[in-house]
Amino acid sequence: MKRRTFLQASVAAAIAAKAYAAPGKRPQILLRSSWQVVNIGDIAHTPGVLALLEKYVPEADVTLWASGDFSEEVSAMEKKRFPQLKIVKGSIGKDGKASNADLQEAVSSSDFLLHGSGPSFVAARDTGDYVEHTGKPFGIYGITFGGAGAKTLSLMSKAQFVFFRDTVSLGKAKQVGIKSPIMEFAPDGAFACDLRDDAAAEQYLQQNDLATGKFLCCIPRLRYTPYWLVKEGRTIDEKKHARNEEMKDHDHQPLRDAISKVVTETDYKVLLCPEDMTQMQVGKDNVYDHLSDEVKQKVVWRENFWLTDQALSTYVRSAGFFGLEMHSPIMCIGNGVPAIVGRFEEQTSKGFMWKDIGLGDWLFDIDQPQQVAKYTDTVLDLINKPEATQEMVHAAQAVVTQRQQATMEVVRQSVGV
């Protein structure tokens, strides 16, 4: 979008929104976010967007409208970073009334609803109920989009803005006819996540003889997350399970090869760690147990789950990341740590954001043999070519920061600041 068009659209959005904020009153943003707590990456969306709002829209107050499984443990972690944060849960009924008094107060006092970053327009129903019963404006920040029904498409067209976390999603949105006045690329909110638990990270590293700057982090992944193992009430999806079983050796062989090279050709170690609650066992079964005894001596398998703050405090003490997940790499790059992403056809287009921020050389399609052939050497380059590696990280960070600034300015205007 040309600068003049962008600014005109931004101002139009701001004028439309200002009617809802009383003169002299601090704008009230209702952030609909927090999708699930079984994955540290899904957790990271929320504190990331909160950090962006804190930095770029400090004039506004923010209330988090969280999903039902938002746990006390995760709440305490986020409130440690954002001590003034108000958190509500619940839903809006067909009569327009919220399911509890706290949510009703948050909805009534809000001037703007911001749908947070995520894998899709996750809370389309809640957003639609908010818009239908309040008539107040809303925007969508940093999502992947792969298509939707007519009702959702219509709702997205009513948004003051829709920011997509990868340009493939942006192209799809335009193709299907979404007509929001501002539709652009905005990095995933998790890039801005800055949660920390340094004490826990330091203790774990000491206990496992991992020296700061002398190890790489690696995360495994099955084609489909077996949520039936960690979410109450879920039954096994036999088709997905069969696909996982079919591809698990194929998908983890590149990780095993890279780990073996790292620990035998350098003096670095590898921490095999999880992004979601299923991946401790995935890592043991598909990576660690396949390594030679010699290699295992320099590989640490993390057997317990962790939260986003300890994970990020660990990543920033590492020399880099590689694996088959997306949000740990996002948090790494956002905090200056090099990260290689592996993806496969079952995943959404989110991985292509690596190309959008200039890291196409660190994006690998595990289904393409010619790309996999370069995987181990690229992992070794994180260690052997530190200057070039840091140049890539800094360049990507510059792209991310520029887009954060530009898109948060739209948010700022849209809430009436």
The domain total for the chain is: 2
* 171 and 251, same domain (yes or no): no
pLDDT of residue 349 exceeding 80, the answer is: yes
* 177 and 260, same domain (yes or no): no
Q: What would the pLDDT profile of 190-228 be if each residue is shown by its tens digit?
A: 999 999 999 999 999 999 999 999 999 999 999 999 999
Q: How confident is the model at residue 308 (pLDDT cuts 50, 70, 90)?
A: very high
**CATH number, domain at 305?**
3.40.50.2000
Q: What would the pLDDT profile of 19-63 be if each residue is shown by its tens digit?
A: 455 667 899 999 999 989 999 999 999 999 999 999 999 999 999
* 214 and 338, same domain (yes or no): yes
* 275 and 164, same domain (yes or no): no
* 62 and 118, same domain (yes or no): yes
* 107 and 92, same domain (yes or no): yes
Q: How confident is the model at residue 15 (pLDDT cuts 50, 70, 90)?
A: very low
* 176 and 216, same domain (yes or no): no
For residue 234, give its domain range. Answer: 198-398
Q: How crowded is residue 24: how many other Cβ atoms within 10 Å of its Cβ?
A: 5
* 300 and 388, same domain (yes or no): yes
* 215 and 178, same domain (yes or no): no
Which residue pairs, CB below 8 angstroms and at least 24 apart, start in 202-205? 202/313, 202/317, 204/302, 204/310, 204/314, 205/314, 205/317
User: pLDDT value at position 20?
Assistant: 55
* 168 and 264, same domain (yes or no): no
* 324 and 376, same domain (yes or no): yes
